A and B are shown apart, each in its own frame.
Chain A
Amino acid sequence: AQKITQTQPGMFVQEKEAVTLDCTYDTSDQSYGLFWYKQPSSGEMIFLIYQGSYDEQNATEGRYSLNFQKARKSANLVISASQLGDSAMYFCAMRDYNYGQNFVFGPGTRLSVLP
Chain B
Amino acid sequence: DTGVSQNPRHKITKRGQNVTFRCDPISEHNRLYWYRQTLGQGPEFLTYFQNEAQLEKSRLLSDRFSAERPKGSFSTLEIQRTEQGDSAMYLCASSLVDGESSYNEQFFGPGTRLTVL
Chain A residues packing against B (C-beta within 8 Å): 4, 31-33, 35, 37, 42-47, 50, 52-53, 91, 93, 95-97, 100-108
How many A-B pairs with Cβ below 8 Å?
Answer: 71
Contacting residues, chain B, for A97 (C-beta < 8 A): 100-102
Instruction: Answer whether A93 and B42 are a contact pair too, CB < 8 Å, given A101-B48, A101-B104.
Output: yes
CB pair A43 B89 closer than 8 Å? yes
Q: With contacts A43-B113, A50-B105 known, what are 6 further pairs, Cβ within 8 A?
A: A42-B110, A43-B89, A45-B91, A101-B31, A103-B33, A105-B42
Q: Give bound CA distance, A52 to B103, whole Å.
A: 7
Q: Sample 23 A-B pairs with CB under 8 A, ordered by A number.
A: A31-B102, A33-B103, A33-B104, A35-B105, A43-B89, A45-B43, A45-B108, A46-B108, A47-B106, A52-B102, A91-B43, A95-B102, A97-B100, A101-B33, A101-B48, A101-B56, A102-B48, A103-B43, A105-B44, A107-B41, A107-B42, A108-B40, A108-B41
Q: Is the CB of B58 within 8 A of A102?
A: yes
Q: How far is the CB of B29 from chain A (nearest CB, A)?
A: 13
| B1 CB to nearest A CB, Å | 15
A103 touches B106 (CB 8 A): yes
Roughly how many angstroms separate A37 CA and B108 CA in the complex, as a whole number? 10
Q: Which 5 A-B pairs have the closest CB atoms?
A: A105-B42, A33-B102, A45-B108, A102-B45, A44-B110
Question: CB distance B45 to A103 under 8 Å?
Answer: yes
By a CB distance below 8 angstroms, the chain B residues around A31 are 102
Report B-chain residues with C-beta under 8 Å of the C-beta of A37: 108
Contact B45 A104 (CB under 8 A): yes
* CA–CA, A45 and B55, complex, Å: 23
Residues of B within 8 A of A93 (CB): 42
Q: Is B25 an interface residue (CB 8 A)?
A: no
A42 partner residues in chain B, CB cutoff 8 A? 110
Q: From residue 34 to 72 of chain B, which have CB atoms closer than 8 A to chain A?
A: 35, 40-45, 48, 50, 55-56, 58
Rounded to whole angstroms, the CA-CA distance of A18 and B16 in the bound complex is 49
Q: Which chain A positions have C-beta within 8 A of B44? A: 105
